[in-house]
A and B are shown apart, each in its own frame.
Chain A
Amino acid sequence: MTRQGKTNCKMVHLTINNAPVDVAEGTTILNAARQVGIRIPTLCHVERLKPVGACRICVVELDGVQNLAAACSMPVSEGLCVRTHSQRVREARRLVVELLLSEHDGQCQTCERREDCELQALSAELGVREVSYEGERTRRRLDSSTPALFRDSGKCIKCRRCVSVCSELQHVGALAAQGRGFETTIGPAFNRDLSSVACVQCGQCAAVCPVGAITERDQVDELWAAIDDPSKHVIVQTAPAIRAALGECFGYEPGTLVTGKMVAALRRLGVDAVFDTNFAADLTIMEEGSELLARLKRQLLDNQPGPLPLLTSCSPGWILYMEHFHADFLPHLSSCKSPQQMFGAVAKSYYAQQQGLRPEQVFVASIMPCTAKKYECQRPEMTSSGSQDVDVVLTTRELGKMIRAAGVEFHELPDESMDDPLGRSSGAADIFATTGGVCEAALRTVHEIVTGQPLPAENLHLTAVSGLSGIKEAALTIQGALPAWSFLEGVTVQVAVAHGLDNARQVLEQVRRGEKSYHFIEVMTCPGGCIGGAGQPRFTDDRVRQARMAAIYREDEGKSVRKSHENTAIQQLYQDFLGEPLGPRAHELLHTRYAPRDTLGKSESG
């Protein structure tokens, strides 16, 4: 996948703003400039995706060349002399921004993006003082048709980043340029609402949008209202990825763990209990691990279709993607609900019972790195407790806003710990936040169930499936199986891990064509997994993903319990309430089903 080793790469010498620099052949001017500490502004460019070369904000001046060149797509060449910020360049960029502003229909003071708007930042950086063009404004059309996202075409600057991520990274292709000329809009087919096309609600479009044209649906007020309602017992679950990113909303470096302060902040907001989605992640491992073993048994011992590979089901964007585009693989999806939904179902049954509350008195709020979770909690199947199991989902960014609105000085907060029992978790649950983590967590437990021995890996880490490569594989040969699992003795369990839906699609296609065969495939919708979720503080690039990922592994290693089956709160839950993994009660509360959907977005049955 990666380019060949650096040693046989040809090096190119050039000067950027009088500084000499050597870079590998094929590097873009944009990346070469970074090496000498110069940031060239970009709008249409998205890291790792094909350059679009549409916005012209990244232009630079080349000695001996008449026209300005687009740094994001222009490769370096020997002896090149580049000026990245000459007066001519600055003026060309200012012109681009002035034109964008002349069409822009938005009000910064009230805009969702007022704090991290790239258009505003560019305008400041380039010293735009007035817009000398009186342009016609972009037509404003609001789309609040989906549970996860909100679109405002008036603010769209047509950079097409959303188009690139939706089609290249996610292979969904819900967005494209529609119409032509000044009337061009970026959106779903024939300018329909997003809910009427096959969109998986992943929000990666909103994560890369430089302005306020696509954002998550803001549900902060719904949580405030529940907190202010004395008849509600408000509990919050926090996904594992939040603790490694929330700090960025308050100026901490990416990768700073703020678990304790996050808990303290939530208490200051006035919620009744602070719990952990990690608890439910441990529960997921118990169920999904058992499901994997049951399917292995069916396939290897009873010679019936498992069916294998078992595909993970924690990521709601991935579920929608499967329902829309790969219905033939639906039987392979684990029937386990995502940890968020397992948490909601357990909170409104087991926990409510413990507290002497009726399910409808408990209000479950989730803090998620994800926009698709806003959609997921509204799926009609997610009502095992009798009503909606999770009431409202806020992104990491929304929580950041709430904390600030409450006047809480985040830096000053002490470290506090989660409440019992739904706040207790293992390190295996922490790593759910990163690509490869669910797979590693599952194998930590499955291997121990089968052999009685811990996973034979340094520090329990399955390094082959960690990191940011798009598709990763590992193989684990079972040795010393206990008598009950003797059919697994000597079996090599093959696993694959993919993040970003296009990578997942590639793995599926290989399986479909019979080129690859796996027992277990982990898929996360967002690049990097939940740490790179669309609800995380902006702007998430690979450097930020790496930092958050490292923090997650640190959190795992800092725990005394690092395997899901050793979480005593989980053991208690099975003993007192659920019975056995995959048992009838577990089935009723923790498992779900899927249905094919039309590739255009309408439900096939409806």
Chain B
Amino acid sequence: MGTADPGSLCQQSTFEELLGQLDDVLLDYAKVPGALIPVLQIAQTLFGYLPEEALRRISRALDKPYSEVAGVVGFYSFFTTVPRGRVMVRVCLGTACYVRGGKEVLAGLKNLLGVEVGETTPDRAFSLDVGRCFGACGLAPVIMIDDDVHQGVRPAQLSRLLEPYRQGAAADGSARRDQDS
């Protein structure tokens, strides 16, 4: 998308600022036992994901081996080291959705966005993930786009379904990321 240039410039300075904020947090937590998980949560809220530089600073400040920090990040599915897109697309793979076309919907989304499950599009507009039952089995298959539930989705509709979000994501730019924190 056309936003790449100004967007990345803007993100650059934001990233530095966020690292500064992380350093402040780390000052408070440096000597606190059991601080690793809370600090990782804070960092993920700040950045939207856990960039390597943040993990490195956390490892240093808490005097924990980098391998151990990485191990904890990998242990909890809540943590991610992949930058999250501005819009989160989740496909239900609960039994009902799975048998009624969820699999095909997922394949369609992968194809449309050009990413695998757990990945983010290069322009950081969309992240793709799967879930287990969003409680709307009556009209399977179901997908969630951010907080909106879409029911009875057919692969052919996907492009049209995503379109409003695509525009929103482009307009929001990094402003939305700041709001998140």
Given A179-B75, A190-B81, A600-B56, are A172 and B66 neighbors across the interface (CB < 8 Å)? no
In the assembled complex, which residues on chain B have CB atoms less than 8 Å from the CB atom of A187?
Answer: 67
Select the residue from A167, A189, A190 with max chain B CB neighbours within 10 A.
A189
Given A190-B81, A599-B60, A600-B56, are A180 and B74 neighbors across the interface (CB < 8 Å)? yes
A197 in the interface, Cβ–Cβ < 8 Å? yes
| Cα(A198)–Cα(B74), bound, Å | 19
Question: CB < 8 Å: which of A176, A179, A599, A600 contacts B68?
Answer: A176
In the assembled complex, which residues on chain B have CB atoms less than 8 Å from the CB atom of A178?
Answer: 67, 70-71, 74
B69 in the interface, Cβ–Cβ < 8 Å? yes
Within 8 A of A (CB), among B50-106: 56, 59-60, 64-71, 74-75, 81
In the assembled complex, which residues on chain A have CB atoms less than 8 Å from the CB atom of B71?
Answer: 176-179, 189
Select the residue from B59, B69, B71 with max chain A CB neighbours within 10 A.
B71
A189 touches B60 (CB 8 A): no
In the assembled complex, which residues on chain B have CB atoms less than 8 Å from the CB atom of A180?
Answer: 74-75
Question: CB < 8 Å: which of B59, B65, B74 contacts A174?
Answer: B65
Within 8 A of B (CB), among A158-201: 167, 172-180, 187-190, 197-198
B75 touches A197 (CB 8 A): no
In the assembled complex, which residues on chain A have CB atoms less than 8 Å from the CB atom of B81?
Answer: 190
| Cα(A178)–Cα(B68), bound, Å | 8
Count of inter-chain pairs, beta carbons less than 8 A: 47
| Cα(A177)–Cα(B69), bound, Å | 10
Nearest CB of chain B from residue A430's CB, rounded to whole Å: 36
In the assembled complex, which residues on chain B have CB atoms less than 8 Å from the CB atom of A600?
Answer: 56, 66
| Cα(A167)–Cα(B64), bound, Å | 9
B70 touches A167 (CB 8 A): no
Question: CB < 8 Å: which of A173, A190, A599 contacts B74?
Answer: A190
B56 touches A197 (CB 8 A): no
Q: Which residue of B lies closest to A179 (CB)?
A: B74
| Cα(A189)–Cα(B71), bound, Å | 7
In the assembled complex, which residues on chain A have CB atoms less than 8 Å from the CB atom of B69?
Answer: 189
B74 touches A167 (CB 8 A): no
In the assembled complex, which residues on chain A have CB atoms less than 8 Å from the CB atom of B70?
Answer: 176, 178, 188-190
In the assembled complex, which residues on chain A have CB atoms less than 8 Å from the CB atom of B75?
Answer: 177, 179-180
Question: CB < 8 Å: which of A177, A179, A599 contacts B66?
Answer: A599
In the assembled complex, which residues on chain B have CB atoms less than 8 Å from the CB atom of A167?
Answer: 65, 68
The bracket for how many chain B residues form the interface is 10 to 19
Q: Which residue of A lies closest to B77 (CB)?
A: A180
In the assembled complex, which residues on chain B have CB atoms less than 8 Å from the CB atom of A189?
Answer: 66-67, 69-71
Nearest CB of chain B from residue A584's CB, rounded to whole Å: 41
| Cα(A188)–Cα(B67), bound, Å | 5
Nearest CB of chain B from residue A196's CB, rounded to whole Å: 11
| Cα(A529)–Cα(B5), bound, Å | 56
| Cα(A198)–Cα(B66), bound, Å | 9
Q: Which residue of B lies closest to A180 (CB)?
A: B75
In the assembled complex, which residues on chain A have CB atoms less than 8 Å from the CB atom of B64?
Answer: 173
A197 touches B67 (CB 8 A): yes
In the assembled complex, which residues on chain B have CB atoms less than 8 Å from the CB atom of A190?
Answer: 70, 74, 81
Nearest CB of chain A from residue B70's CB, rounded to whole Å: 3
Q: Which residue of B lies closest to A175 (CB)?
A: B67
In the assembled complex, which residues on chain B have CB atoms less than 8 Å from the CB atom of A175?
Answer: 67
| Cα(A599)–Cα(B74), bound, Å | 20
Q: Which residue of B lies closest to A189 (CB)?
A: B70
In the assembled complex, which residues on chain A have CB atoms less than 8 Å from the CB atom of B59?
Answer: 599
| Cα(A234)–Cα(B175), bound, Å | 68
Nearest CB of chain A from residue B19's CB, rounded to whole Å: 16
| Cα(A189)–Cα(B73), bound, Å | 10
B66 touches A197 (CB 8 A): yes
| Cα(A179)–Cα(B73), bound, Å | 8
In the assembled complex, which residues on chain A have CB atoms less than 8 Å from the CB atom of B65?
Answer: 167, 172-174, 176
| Cα(A599)–Cα(B56), bound, Å | 9
Select the residue from A176, A179, A180, A197 with max chain B CB neighbours within 10 A.
A176
Nearest CB of chain A from residue B26's CB, rounded to whole Å: 15
In the assembled complex, which residues on chain A have CB atoms less than 8 Å from the CB atom of B56?
Answer: 599-600
| Cα(A269)–Cα(B7), bound, Å | 67
A173 touches B60 (CB 8 A): no
In the assembled complex, which residues on chain B have CB atoms less than 8 Å from the CB atom of A174?
Answer: 65, 67
Within 8 A of A (CB), among B123-169: none
A176 touches B67 (CB 8 A): yes
A548-561 contact mask (Cβ, 8 Å, vs B): 1 or 0: 00000000000000
| Cα(A188)–Cα(B70), bound, Å | 8
Nearest CB of chain B from residue A166's CB, rounded to whole Å: 8
| Cα(A175)–Cα(B69), bound, Å | 11
Q: Which residue of A lies closest to B69 (CB)?
A: A189
| Cα(A174)–Cα(B71), bound, Å | 11
In the assembled complex, which residues on chain B have CB atoms less than 8 Å from the CB atom of A176?
Answer: 65, 67-68, 70-71
| Cα(A179)–Cα(B75), bound, Å | 5
| Cα(A248)–Cα(B60), bound, Å | 42
| Cα(A175)–Cα(B68), bound, Å | 7
| Cα(A178)–Cα(B60), bound, Å | 19
| Cα(A187)–Cα(B65), bound, Å | 12
| Cα(A188)–Cα(B56), bound, Å | 14
Nearest CB of chain B from residue A139's CB, rounded to whole Å: 14
Select the residue from B64, B65, B81 with max chain A CB neighbours within 10 A.
B65
Nearest CB of chain B from residue A198's CB, rounded to whole Å: 8
Select the residue from B59, B64, B70 with max chain A CB neighbours within 10 A.
B70
Q: Which residue of B lies closest to A172 (CB)?
A: B65
| Cα(A13)–Cα(B33), bound, Å | 37
Nearest CB of chain A from residue B42's CB, rounded to whole Å: 20
**What are 15 A-B interface contacts by the 8 Å CB criterion?**
A167-B65, A172-B65, A173-B64, A173-B65, A173-B68, A175-B67, A176-B68, A177-B71, A178-B71, A178-B74, A188-B67, A189-B70, A190-B70, A599-B59, A600-B66
B interface vs A, CB < 8 Å? 56, 59-60, 64-71, 74-75, 81
What 20 additional pairs, Cβ within 8 angstroms, besides A177-B71, A178-B74, A189-B70? Answer: A167-B68, A172-B65, A173-B64, A173-B67, A173-B68, A174-B67, A176-B67, A176-B68, A176-B70, A176-B71, A177-B75, A178-B70, A179-B71, A180-B75, A188-B70, A189-B66, A190-B81, A197-B66, A599-B56, A599-B66
Closest 3 interchain pairs by CB?
A: A173-B65, A189-B70, A176-B67
